[in-house]
Structure 1
Amino acid sequence: MQRVTNAVYIHDEQVLMLKKPRRNWYAAPGGKMEPEESINRAIKREYKEETGLKLINPKLSSVFNFVMDDDQEWMMFTYVCHQAEGKVLEHTPEGTLEWVPVNEVLSLPMAEGDRTLIKHAIEDPQFVLTGTFYYTYDFKLKEQIVDNQLV
Structure 2
Amino acid sequence: MASVHRPAVRVICFDADGRVLLMHWEDPVSGGRLWEPPGGGIDPGETPLQAARRELAEETGLDPAAIGDRYLEVVRDSVWKGTHFVGPEQFFTASFPTARPPVVREGLLPYEQSELLTHAWIASSDLATLPDRLEPPTLPELLAEFRSWS
TM-score range, shorter chain: 0.5 to 0.7
Kindly indicate whether the alpha-carbon contact (under 8 Å) linking 1:19 and 1:26 is maintained by their aligned counterparts in 2.
yes
Pair 1:19 & 2:34 matched = no
Match in the other structure for 1:143: none
Q: Which amino acid aligns with 1:110?
A: R
SS at match of 2:44: coil
SS at match of 1:104: helix
In 2, distance between residues paired with 1:68 and 1:88? 25
Q: How does 1:1-80 map to 2 (within 5 A)?
A: 1-11=5-15, 12-22=17-27, 23-55=32-64, 56-66=66-76, 73-80=86-93
In structure 2, the CA distance between the partners of 1:90 and 1:40, relative to structure 1 (3 Å rule), is closer
Unaligned runs of 5+ in 1: 127-151
Pair 1:89 & 2:94 matched = no
SS at match of 2:103: coil
Kindly indicate whether the alpha-carbon contact (under 8 Å) linking 1:66 and 1:76 is maintained by their aligned counterparts in 2.
yes
Give me the CA root mean square deviation.
3.0
In structure 2, the CA distance between the partners of 1:73 and 1:102, relative to structure 1 (3 Å rule), is closer
Q: Which has the larger share of helix?
A: 2
Deviations 1:16-70 (A, max 9, x none): 1100112221000111110121011100000110011123142534213335797
Match in the other structure for 2:142: 120
In structure 2, the CA distance between the partners of 1:87 and 1:54, relative to structure 1 (3 Å rule), is same
In 1, distance between residues paired with 2:56 and 2:72? 17
Give aligned pairs, total. Answer: 125
Q: Which amino acid aligns with 2:133?
A: M
Higher relative contact order (CA 8 A, sep 6+): 2
Question: When the two structures are superposed, what TM-score results if normalisation uses the length of structure 1?
Answer: 0.66
Q: Which runs of 4+ in 1 moved over 6 A?
A: 68-71
